[in-house]
Homo-oligomer: A and B are copies of this chain.
């Protein structure tokens, strides 16, 4: 008997997992004679603020939640006709930095040339985050990064990923990131540093010629397995300290920290999912990586000591984390059937 813990999370980008799973259970109850495999459902709605209450809940309910694996539907398909099972996730080190200079906004004429400008300072620091090759300059940043094996590289190469098409859908004509690294490797197996937001000084209409008193930015590092998010955060702080001009003060706020993850592909539940997806889509599921982070996968591993099965139905053009986010209806329907089929395959393997 394979016991499934289905972890549905209520965030906007949970890919309709709750509804797909409920519909799959209803199908078995109404048409199939009952749910064929034991299932425990966990719902949480705090993913986008870092799931602060999930881990204490998992620890407190460890016995109730006992299962062989956790089923999570928060990932994507290869394309709308080709299903995917995600076996790699990037981790995250997510923080905010504030650089302070003068105690108040200053007239940029009367003080310019003498007073420290924290926006100038912050752009100078963050503008130095990448070298000419697109590599992150933080000392030691790549030390723990696992090289992708030649076999894995060959598999990804064989997928024929069209980066130009991927980017043209979002209005970009050329790729960024590390020079000379293949696209899927950059997206799935290499760490990044992205400024998610920046602000400081006057940002309204027209001009206001001030030297602002402070400037801030939000930065997320996407990490790969074996990089330690805390060490990356400390490395970033040292990187900043090395570049902080005299008289400036810096402070930080840490948000989510989660490691990159690789999931075994030879488990009964992954095999059951491959069978289910093959039946629904009449083609094999692609064993995919994802550049995103699903911190609960690590939390579940640490607290319940089980792996997650990441069977998701998102598409590249879903506009995740952007206005007008969507979940394709076709993906919802076929995803629901795939979930129902998965329960049957799990029962068959039990």
Interfacial residues, chain A to chain B (CB-CB below 8 A): 13, 48-50, 76, 90, 92, 94, 96, 101-117, 119-120, 122-130, 163, 166-167, 170-178, 183, 186-187, 190, 192-203, 206-212, 215-218, 220, 222, 245-247, 255-256, 290-293, 316, 319-323
Cβ-defined partner of A222 (8 Å) among B113, B130, B217, B321: B113
Q: Are A104 and B323 in contact (CB under 8 A)?
A: yes
| Number of copies of this protein chain within its complex | 2
Closest to A124 in B: B127
CB within 8 Å for A114 and B177 given contacts A107-B321, A109-B222, A195-B201: yes
Residues A172 and B206 in contact, CB atoms below 8 Å apart? no
A120's partner among B129, B202, B316 (CB-CB below 8 A) is: B129
Contact B112 A175 (CB under 8 A): no
Contact indicator A247/B174 (Cβ below 8 Å): yes
Nearest to A117 among chain B residues (CB) is B194
Contact of A220 among B13, B203, B207, B245 (CB under 8 A): B207
Q: For residue A129, which residues in chain B have a CB less than 8 angstroms away from its CB?
A: 120, 123
A229 to chain B, nearest CB (A): 13
Asked if residues A218 and B201 are in contact (CB atoms below 8 Å), the reply is yes
Q: Which B residue sits closest to A191, measured CB to CB?
A: B113
In the bound complex, how far is the Cα of B130 from the Cα of A194, in angstroms? 23
- Chain B residue numbers with a CB within 8 Å of A119 are 194-198, 217
CB neighbours (8 Å) of A172 from chain B are 101-102, 115-116, 247
Chain B residue nearest to A209 in the complex (CB): B220
Contact partners of A125 in chain B: CB under 8 A: 127
Q: CB distance A110 to B210 under 8 Å?
A: no
Q: Is the CB of A110 within 8 A of B291?
A: yes
Q: Can you give 7 A-B contacts (C-beta < 8 A)?
A: A92-B109, A103-B170, A107-B322, A109-B291, A113-B190, A114-B187, A198-B203
In whole angstroms, how far apart are the Cα atoms of A228 and B128 in the complex? 31
Chain B neighbourhood of A124, CB < 8 A: 127-128, 130
Query: Contact between A198 and B123 (Cβ–Cβ < 8 Å)?
Result: yes
Chain B residue numbers with a CB within 8 Å of A206 are: 49, 255
Q: Is B320 touching A110 in the complex (CB atoms < 8 A)? A: yes
Bound Cα distance A48, B186 (Å): 47
Which residues of B lie under 8 Å from residue A245 when comparing CB positions? 176
Of B108, B171, B291, the contact of A112 (CB 8 Å cutoff): B291
Residue numbers in B under 8 Å from A201 (CB-CB): 195-198, 218
- Which residue of B178, B198, B208, B320 is within 8 Å of A198 (Cβ)? B198
Which residue in B106, B112, B123, B320 is a CB contact (below 8 Å) of A107?
B320
In Å, the complex CA distance between A178 and B90 comes to: 43
